[in-house]
Structure 1
Amino acid sequence: MQKGTLELIRRLNRDLVLGIIRAGQPVSRAEIARRLGLSRSTVSAIVDEFIAKHFVVESGLGASTKEGGRRAIELSFNPDSGYGVGIELQRGGLKLCIANLDGAVCFQQTAVSTDNCSEAVSRHIAEAVRQAGLTMEQLIAVGVSVPGLTDSLNGIIVDSPVLGWKGIAFAAELESMINVPVFLNNDVNCAALGERWLGAVKQIDDFIYFYIGHGVGMALVAGGQLVYGKDYMAGEIAYFAQTADLSGHIPVNRLGDFGVYEKKVSISGLTGRGAGDTLEALFQGFAEGREPNVRVVKELIEDLSLGIANSVSLLNPEKVIIGGDTAPYIAPFLNELQCNVSQLTPIRTGIELSQLGTCASVLGAIAYGLERVRM
């Protein structure tokens, strides 16, 4: 058997053992071996490795057997054995969060005005770790959420118009400064992972995250894995087009420009139609029955219904999660959206709002970092 195959088997066994401990704690080595069909020696070797890394602790003795045999030592997961840092890069600043392996937040900063260069980010991480009462040695991974196109495999910011960056090997730069593994991903992908870790789609393997805010985007999770596409551009719903967008031989979507769908449902698209300068004004005017607010909001719900329905027909998700700055204003229309989508496609799905709100992306960055370092 090849070395790579053996290592894959070992990693899978480690994941299975740790999963049993986390889900069924406290649990004994013998019980783990029984549930997984592994030898006791294999389980013991894996458990000893986890104990050495402080991921698992021996939490006491279990009940004696019916025959009065020796009580087994029980094992529990130690969520404070390590911590992850999440960084959400934004225009002119960042969000920062530190959480343990179960997602319990021990430190967060929601609006930090700063230069986003790697040197400045490294200083903010060091200061946050100090304020949280931790040490850099306790960090397992740093995840970075990026507004724009990323090569997540190689840690490269391919193109981020918001940050004004192209072709930046940000993960490698930051990692060299803090000596902690650094991984980065697109901000919408991170938001989806945050919802899967701690929010609306915990442990659901097939779902769509629809981001509606200053921009628009979609993250696709199929079989528990993010779908990236050949050029890391899967989910670019900004370029969704409808029949009315056909205009002869003139391209309606150009790479790097605002897409036709984005112009319809993004905040700038909604507030640029004479129905109010803010989302609050737009929806307040709708509630009061004023025009053109009523027309703009109705068109938004129609456009969202079409975009979601076509995505559902293509991907067959168990759930669709709507997030972004516009999401809270969508709450009164969820039933209408669900009804519209049910009329447009026979494929059943549930539509819900994000549970993590504006924290989804920074928490998802932590989840992504912890997942990658485990690999």
Structure 2
Amino acid sequence: MKFVITKNILENVIASMQPFLEKKDSSAITSHIYLEINNSNLIIKATDYEIGLESFIDNLINTVDGKTTVNGSNLLGIIKRLKNEDIILEATNNNLVIKQNKSTFKLPTYDANEFPVLNKSENLKELSISTINFINSIRKITPAIDNNNPKFELNGALLDIKSQKINFVSTDTRRLALSFLENMNNDEAQLIIPKKAIIEIQKLFLDEAKISYDNTNLVISNQHTKFFTKLINGKFPDYERIIPSNLKHNFFLPKNVLVESIKLVTSLFSNIKITFNSKSIIFESLDEDSEAKTQIDIDLNIPNEFFLAVNAKYLLDFLSMTNNEKVKIGFNESNLPFYLEDDKFITIVMPIVLEK
């Protein structure tokens, strides 16, 4: 195997492969990147068995067909040090030789036939959805996906395809985020996509792509990139019962003012108390040793004072994903979940119960 390629082109592709590599065991073949030349076209693959990425680069020069694997981290380290000029890569005698001008590097290779097959699935169903809308929807719910929860299904996001709409849902048990789109003639299904996959999808796809799935896999592909992930096998919680059906109070509040006020009292402290009264909203830190407090004057027209205690990060995460100048907040009681809403995006937050 041999090919010539510009340094920056190869570096960008190899860098995008890094999250898909086995990091703990450098001797594992999954710590390697698969390289193959076929009719002047380069195929590059990486996988950790749970997620995988395949990239295609067309019409290379001075090519010799063949395939090999090489440690992906080490290959990137070499390429980064080179000038932005052509690089020659050649597999020979169980090594990958990398040359540029008078510089030469060698990395050991493995048998490419031992590299895992990325996706054996056949008869995948295509999801009829705009990729841009898909990416925007999962982006909004990403902060609420849990980490290392013993209930594996909470370490991913639910794609709940219903007859009339598609819900994108995540929860870390303290908050629930839901974004939704209209369903364009897709069959009803539920897919739980791992958090790692959710994060990588947002990096890889900025334009339209084909999205396909079956009971165990999700595949997203365009002309030059093919991504796959295994789905989480589990039952996602009944999230719809958590969404309040009725709210005693609803306000539309200015987003930028909320963000500024929250950040003023949470430069050091993460838990805050927000008090609503007829003429103002007061923001206070909940730290026992020091005090931070600010107020915004706004006519709410509520008969009784009301407060919420909450982790400020949950509010800021929601506000950072909103598009409108004003957002909706709704609540019933201080100790019950409260409701945040923007265009086709809601978050339900469990408040902190304060001791009296």
Structure 1 or 2: more helix by fraction = 1
Is TM (by shorter chain) over 0.5? Answer: no
Normalised-by-shorter TM-score class: under 0.3
Bigger radius of gyration = 2
Structure-2-length-normalised TM-score: 0.24
Structure-1-length-normalised TM-score: 0.23
Larger relative contact order (C-alpha < 8 A, sep ≥ 6)?
1
Structure 1 or 2: more strand by fraction = 2
